[in-house]
Amino acid sequence: MKRLLFRALVLGVVVVFALACKNKEPAGEAQTAKAIGVFVPGVSSGSPVYEMLVEGVLAAAEQYNAGRVTVTVIEGGYNQAEWENKITAMTASGSYNLIVSSNPSLPDIVSKVSEQFPDQHFLLLDGEMKGNSRVYTLRYNQREQAYMAGYIAALQTETEQNGAQRRIGLVAAQEYPVMNNIILPGFLEGARAVHSSYEVDFRIVGNWYDAAKAGELAADMIQGGVRALLCIAGGANEGVVNAANRRNAKVVWFDSNGYNVNPGTVIGSSVIRQDIAACNQVLRYLEGALPFGSAEVMGVNDGYVDFIQDDPVYLETVPAEIREKQAAMIERIRSGALALFP
């Protein structure tokens, strides 16, 4: 079943790429070969942001000119203290025209590496750094992403609790500036747009893989009255979903489409289109058009942040009353009536 789902996912992604990525004609004979190194700060499997990163880079290489672009994926693992050395080693090898990665902590690391190896080009997603002429960054408007998650978590809670309890949950793998300053406040802001007295029960797993610990945290939160939880914990998300499923609580998924992770338990998917971003930006690089030195921020109206409303599981398992209110809120963002600056 898992394998089938994975295949469906891969097929789905390929279809999206065919639609979303510019289709470049194969370059002429004079075109030089390019080597791209992808650094995964963690482990791809189980982390939507990294799965999408790798898929997007591979799709770009394939679309641009199969055979002339090589892609090497290197996983940095969960020990964050080793990432700087690993990226330094990748750079020092001189093997890559471009190193692609994704993580809010990467700009600081790359700044240091760049001092030692000023010619290395980097494309960094999900992070921000301006002014280094060899580095391009793209981050997402995660205030919008988190707001849409908080809104549906509160709508679900209102339906179940009818105002008796106004607390939603967020299980995060670790604290970091984007989490504490953008995602957590955005999640609460979305819930408070439903009712001003919402609070967030915010818990930290301590790593991106311990599903048992994440499950215990979620069980405790549900025990305390939380009915809808957002999980941002990579491989540990599974523990949150299982704990919620067993206790008939609901989960909002982040980054990718999660409805099929557990149909009926996952009631929302607040996503970033990191696969499309990786594909498009690598194509831009291959075409010589990536604006190194600049930092872009992409949101709902750029097509890079979204809340998935057309999934059959969403349509079948989430009550129409909730879906209609959620749709109206998203329409307010799209029309500009609701502006959530990054």
Is the Cβ of residue 232 or residue 286 nearer to ligand RBF in the bound state? 232
**Residues of span 220-259 touching ligand RBF by CB under 6 A:** 232, 234, 254-255
**Tokens for 257?**
């489409």
Which residues make beta-bridge pairs with 301?
Answer: none
Q: Which of 37, 42, 56, 107 touches ligand RBF by CB under 6 A?
A: 42
In one-letter notation, the amino acid at residue 143 is: R
Map residues 114-133 to x or -, x wherever contact with ligand RBF holds by CB under 6 A.
------------x-------
Q: Which of 21, 49, 129, 194 touches ligand RBF by CB under 6 A?
A: 49
Q: For residue 56, state whether it binds ligand RBF (rule: CB under 6 A).
A: no
**Tokens for 72?**
């090497």
In three-state secondary structure terms, 207 is: coil
Tell me which stretch binds ligand RBF (CB under 6 A): 41-49, 222-230, 262-270, 307-315: 41-49
Tell me which stretch binds ligand RBF (CB under 6 A): 54-62, 63-71, 84-92, 98-106: 98-106
**CA separation for the pair 284, 192 (Å, rounded):** 40
**CA separation for the pair 179, 30 (Å, rounded):** 46
Smallest separation (angstroms) from ligand RBF to the CB of 208: 4
Q: For residue 6, state whether it binds ligand RBF (rule: CB under 6 A).
A: no
Q: Which of 65, 70, 80, 262 touches ligand RBF by CB under 6 A?
A: 80
- Pairing mode, if any, of strands 34-40 and 69-75? parallel
Q: Check residue 179 and report its DSSP letter.
A: I
**Residues of span 185-224 touching ligand RBF by CB under 6 A:** 208
Compute the CA torsion angle 305, 76, 82, 282 (nearest 10 deg). -60
Report how far apart, in Å, the C-alpha atoms of 55 and of each of 59, 85, 194 are.
6, 25, 36
Smallest separation (angstroms) from ligand RBF to the CB of 138: 13
Tell me which stretch binds ligand RBF (CB under 6 A): 47-55, 112-120, 215-223, 312-320: 47-55
Q: How many CB atoms lie within 10 A of CB 127?
A: 23
Compute the CA torsion angle 303, 340, 221, 254 (nearest 10 deg). 10
| Residues in contact with ligand RBF by the rule CB under 6 A | 41-42, 47-49, 80, 103-105, 126, 176, 178, 208, 232, 234, 254-255
